[in-house]
Structure 1
Amino acid sequence: MMKRLTYLAILSFLVLGCKETEITPQKSPDLLLSEHLTFGNPSNATTDVNNANNYLIEKPQYSLSYSKDRGTPNWVSWHITKDWLGSAPRQDDFREDTSLPTGWYRVNEDSYRGSGFDRGHNTPSADRTKTVADNSATFLMINMIPQAPNNNQQTWARLEDYTRNLVQDGDEVYVIMGSYGVGGIGSSGTRNSLDNGRVTVPSQIWKVIVILPEGNDDVSRVTNSTRVIAVNTPNINTISSSWGTYRTTVDAIEAATSYDLLSQLTDQIEAVLEAKTDNGPTQ
């Protein structure tokens, strides 16, 4: 009888031990949303190298969909809170991203040189100043588009400054920026491509900004009255310096790009917010 009890005790221990060490199946990385994709993956980009023109790249500082054929991101998404802002200096270390798949052309720091177009950041340098490494990551060429100088240095710079001021005043923001079309007008005239055709010059540059007071569970805190700014500018040098001139709806950007922006919101709230044109302050 004693042997039987001992055997049962050992068997019970083994069964319980097995349960404690079971491995829970993990979701595919493509199904896990990073901080920067809190409101969704607009084009359902994936890390499949065969999906070369909608290739998902996730950095600690931002997430993006990359187009191998265009040599630019389709869109870049990032989150800004005070935690991302600090005193790290601007690195200006424009460079190729060596992590791109083998065999892909790597746009480099010289690809835009002499073209009449800026190496225009999507995620701005000044949005990532907590550490030198964070700031340096914004200078990877996968984060750049050929941008008309006045568009970059005036119109977009003012919108970027305004966005950071919101954060400094107690908000947090989610930003999605992208570009589409072919052909822009830089300081030296019209160009459709750069670097022997390896980099496409976009005709339009857009941005969507979701603004929330600092807090947690961000998607659940969005309501019908949450402020969402949508802007779409032509990529030209003769452009108004006032970004407010180019406000539009998220719906209009979706119609132009076929993306599904803010897809993590409930259908009702998404429909309301995406149909609005922002009329709030611009400075």
Structure 2
Amino acid sequence: MKVILGFLLLLVLLLTGPAFVIASGSASLGVDWSRADRSPVGLAPDPATTAEAVVQVYAARALSWRGAFGVHPWFAVKPAGARAYTVYEVIGWRVYRGLPAVSVSNRDPDGRWFGSQPSVLAELRGADAEAAIPKIAEAASRYPYAGEYRLWPGPNSNTFAAWVGRAVPELRLDLPATALGKDFLAAPFVARAPSGTGWQLNLFGAAGLLVAAEEGVELNLLGLTVGVDPLDLAIKFPGIGRIAPFGRGLRAAAPPPAETAEEGAAPQG
């Protein structure tokens, strides 16, 4: 009985963050996805006036109740001299229609996710971006779960982001605690952290531990993440994400995190 009560108490604590997100109005409940705002927010350099190569990684709150728990990430790349961005992401509805989960498109790189404001998780410019772009494309083509999609515990859009992050460690991609599915690992259940600065152990996204210089220490339980980031003097909490009560810590903190579907399709990511 004590074990059951303890588990129930832990579950309540883990769900406190998502409940707060709903209560605060941060999750886009009741939004009609077909009419939601998809306009760009001005975070991506204009390709018409930016000749250098650009790589940006974005995340935005998921649509409807899913936004209380997690975000949807995507990679936007522009080679030097290109007049448009290419966006790589995983979209759930594609699998349900018999298509590969990985979407490659030329949509607005910094478009809102059905009303949710995106933020930049990582960025490379110039020669560094030019070197990373083919690595991102190759990692996307090798994504091992291209025929699978599960909202929880994965593989999903955040599993894809973690996969690409490991393949391109120069991004030092610190996925937020709200990137539900980022910790999904199949056998042998051990991999580098998405930032490439440490390691993680996880059992199908249900339970695991991550220790890395960039992410800090994270405990994953039932897909939800709690953790501490000593360099940023921050804590990580399910639903809410990063909380830094002492400011930016010992280094500049990454921008706070903020799912993409093609036009005319219900969003899942």
Q: TM-score, normalized by length of structure 1?
A: 0.29
Q: Which has more radius of gyration? A: 1
Greater fraction helix? 1
